[in-house]
């Protein structure tokens, strides 16, 4: 999922929350602020679970690609007459994947204030 798709997904989810909060009280007595906050909290918690599952799936794909690149680099490195430029490109891609993996892991790990 690219950044544009991710941004569009986040915007759509934010609009869904706004609609839920606005429409849920239509036609009945006005909800109390506590009820609105409770509903918004439940919707936000459900969205966070969806986001976490998407991030975990992306993390699994990136880890697999990282392992595959490791095997490819090892095979190229051990083969006679290997293309050193290709090996360097694969290593650079592997480092980029590692950075992205760390970034996603940080997003999934809750902040603990000591």
Model confidence, pTM:
0.57
Query: How far is Cα 50 from Cα 14, in angstroms, rounded to an integer?
Result: 13
For residue 41, give its domain range: 3-108
Res 61: pLDDT: 95
pLDDT band at 1 (very low <50, low <70, confident <90, very high): low
Q: What is the pLDDT of residues 9-53, one digit of tens each?
A: 566 665 655 555 554 444 456 667 777 666 766 766 666 777 888
Residue 69 lies in a domain: yes
Overall number of domains in the chain: 1
DSSP code for 109: S
DSSP code for 111: P
Residue 92 lies in a domain: yes
Mean pLDDT of 46-69: 88
Residue 96 lies in a domain: yes
Q: What percent of the chain is modeled with pLDDT above 70?
A: 62
Residue 87 lies in a domain: yes
Residue 29 lies in a domain: yes
pLDDT band at 108 (very low <50, low <70, confident <90, very high): confident
């Amino acid at each position: 999922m690219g950044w544009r798709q991710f941004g569009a997904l986040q915007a759509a989810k934010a609009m869904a929350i706004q609609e839920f909060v606005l429409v849920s009280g239509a036609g009945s007595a006005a909800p109390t602020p506590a009820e609105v906050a409770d509903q918004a909290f439940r919707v936000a918690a459900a969205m966070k679970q969806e986001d976490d599952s998407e991030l975990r799936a992306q993390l699994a794909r990136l880890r697999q690609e990282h392992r595959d690149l490791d095997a490819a680099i090892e095979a190229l490195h051990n083969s006679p007459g290997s293309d050193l430029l290709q090996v360097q490109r694969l290593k650079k891609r592997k480092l980029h994947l590692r950075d992205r993996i760390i970034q996603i892991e940080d997003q999934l790990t809750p902040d603990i204030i000591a």
